[in-house]
Amino acid sequence: MKIELLTFNEFSLQTLYDVLQLRAEVFVVEQNCPYQDVDGKDQKALHVLGFTNDKLVAYTRIFKPGDYFERASIGRVIVKENHRKYGYGKDIMNASIQVLEDRFDAEEIELSAQVYLKKFYNDLGFKEFGEGYLEDNIPHIRMLRN
């Protein structure tokens, strides 16, 4: 998988369309969860895109400390459904962690994880903290890597 890192202003119209399409495909359609994905935070984020054969198959958006949470953070973690068996989730997360450490000297990274993915994030060094909660009617837990 080829990784690209883009700011919001570096998106081509086609790439922006592909990102929003993938996010809607997974978070709205696949998870049957109508919610406002376009939330005004993309402009502050760095976007980590994973491509195979020039097709977007994995994505995260990352934030320096203070731009979303108090700590550096990763969100909107996605792998296209028919590409999940190739380990791209770990690849895109490891790339995201590396960018936060290299660019922002992030010693702690926070995320809001869907509870069913807790082991996936544990394997990447994240530990849950706080109480579980519902976000868009899906059980979530806050997790921290340090």
In tens, the pLDDT along 101-124 reads 999 999 999 999 999 999 999 999
Please give the pLDDT value at position 35: 82
As assigned by CATH, the class of the 2-108 domain is: alpha beta
Local structure of 95: helix, strand or coil: helix
- Give the percent of the chain with pLDDT over 70: 100
Plot region of 143 (φ>0 → left; ψ -120 to 50 → alpha; else → beta): beta
Q: What is the pLDDT of residues 125-139, one digit of tens each?
A: 999 999 999 888 889
User: In angstroms, rounded to a whole number, what is the distance separating the alpha carbons of residues 2 and 124?
Assistant: 20
* Position with higher pLDDT, 35 vs 132: 132
Q: Where are the domains of the chain?
A: 2-108
Does the pLDDT at position 15 exceed 90? yes
Please give the pLDDT value at position 43: 96
Compute CA 21 distance to the chain's CA centroid, rounded to the nearest angstrom: 15
pTM of the model: 0.94
Per the DSSP assignment, residues forming a β-bridge with 62 are: 46, 74
